[in-house]
């Protein structure tokens, strides 16, 4: 195992400590592994997300004006505990309630649900939404129903913008739920990743093999096949997305996401092929995001996300934000 770390057991705390030193608008609750905005906005709905570490820049990279108020980090590929989530809720609470954005994994559902109940006992109004954008499989080892993957970033943006604009807790939740209903994603992996505490790859792929539909923790996909061209990969991923949801004639936001070890060269080549297919199908692209938005340590691969837009979602997507991983002016 070759990694730039000190000790496998300290990677999360040292990651977060290093992050706030690079971004002084953030603060770090050491020991509880929470990153939050240093300056709170009183009277604004707080937006909190989180999950296992190893998906950087998610989730702490989206803390800032116009997106998240706090992000809660678990250990690598492990859900954060309820006490960490409670701290995130407290840091995000500006007096107007808090929305939790949860990815659809059993540990996250359980721990965020427990934290929600405890916060409400302390008279903090809390609502939650669950992201399940992965069209690859109906069920997985880690979730009941579809997994939450890179489309979660769009939900952070929409909910954060609605909260920044002064929406009530119910309005922010409704905007997030609208985004979730209109988002679909599909991914593929070309190589495994190595958890620091394990020291060896979590699965194996042959020299010329790829796995279509693999999850961001290495969960099984739908097909293991030979390496494909960028054009073939774009077609395979989009076919599954477009079979699942009718995007025809609509305007969309497009996210071409790297899983950690895929060069931008390859992501832009893939984006070129995706845009050709969507244009031919009469699907208009309002805005495109290409890069590493939700990774899986050093896994090589990608995912594609489409979000169908209406006037409200477009306005919220385009609203300004300022975070370490995403800035919209």
Specify whether 59 is catalytic: no
Structure token pair of residue 2 = 């070759």
Among candidate residues 130, 170, 122, 123, the one with its CA nearest the CA of residue 151: 130
Among candidate residues 196, 195, 109, 91, the one with its CA nearest the CA of residue 147: 109
3-class DSSP state of 171: helix
Strand locations in the chain (E) = 26-29, 34-37, 46-53, 70-76, 98-103, 126-131, 183-189, 209-212, 223-226, 251-258, 284-291, 301-308, 321-322, 327-328
Q: What is the DSSP string of 270-290?
A: HHHHHHHHHHHTT-EEEEEEE
Specify whether 286 is catalytic: no
Whether 209 and 226 have beta carbons less than 8 Å apart is answered as yes
3-state SS string over 1-40? Answer: CCCCCCCHHHHHHHHHHHHHHHCCCEEEECCCCEEEECCC
**Among the residues of 122-212, which ranges form H helices?**
152-164, 169-181
User: Pick the catalytic residue: 23, 55, 59, 156?
Assistant: 55
User: Pick the catalytic residue: 23, 59, 156, 217?
Assistant: 217
Catalytic center residues: 55, 217
């Amino acid at each position: 195992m070759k990694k730039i770390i000190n000790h496998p057991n300290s990677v999360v705390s040292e990651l977060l400590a290093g992050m706030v030193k690079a971004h002084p608008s953030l603060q770090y609750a050491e020991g509880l592994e929470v990153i939050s905005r240093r300056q709170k906005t009183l009277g604004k709905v707080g937006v909190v997300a989180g999950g296992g570490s190893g998906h950087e820049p998610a989730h702490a990279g989206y803390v800032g004006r116009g997106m998240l108020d706090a992000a809660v980090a678990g250990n690598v590929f492990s859900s954060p505990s309820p006490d960490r989530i409670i701290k995130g809720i407290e840091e995000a609470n500006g007096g107007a309630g808090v929305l939790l954005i949860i990815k659809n994994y059993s540990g996250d559902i359980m721990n965020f649900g427990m934290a929600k109940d405890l916060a409400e006992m302390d008279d903090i109004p809390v609502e939650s939404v669950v992201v399940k954008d992965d069209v690859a499989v109906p069920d997985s080892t880690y979730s009941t129903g579809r997994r939450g993957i890179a489309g979660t970033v769009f939900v952070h943006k929409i909910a954060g913008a609605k909260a920044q604009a002064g929406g009530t807790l119910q309005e922010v939740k409704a905007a997030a739920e609208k985004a979730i209903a209109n988002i679909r994603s599909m991914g593929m992996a070309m190589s495994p990743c190595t958890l620091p505490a394990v020291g060896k790859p979590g699965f194996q792929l042959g020299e010329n093999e790829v796995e279509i539909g693999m999850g961001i923790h290495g969960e099984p996909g739908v097909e293991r096949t030979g390496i494909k061209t960028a054009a073939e990969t774009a077609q395979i991923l989009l076919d599954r997305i477009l079979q699942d949801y009718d995007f025809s004639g609509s305007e969309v936001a497009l996210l071409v996401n790297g899983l950690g070890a895929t060069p931008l060269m390859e992501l832009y080549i893939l984006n070129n092929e995706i845009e050709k297919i969507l244009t031919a199908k009469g699907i208009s692209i309002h805005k495109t995001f290409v890069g590493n938005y939700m990774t899986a340590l050093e896994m090589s691969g990608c995912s594609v996300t489409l979000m169908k837009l209406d006037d409200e979602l477009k306005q919220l997507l385009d609203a300004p934000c300022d975070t370490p991983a995403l800035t919209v002016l």
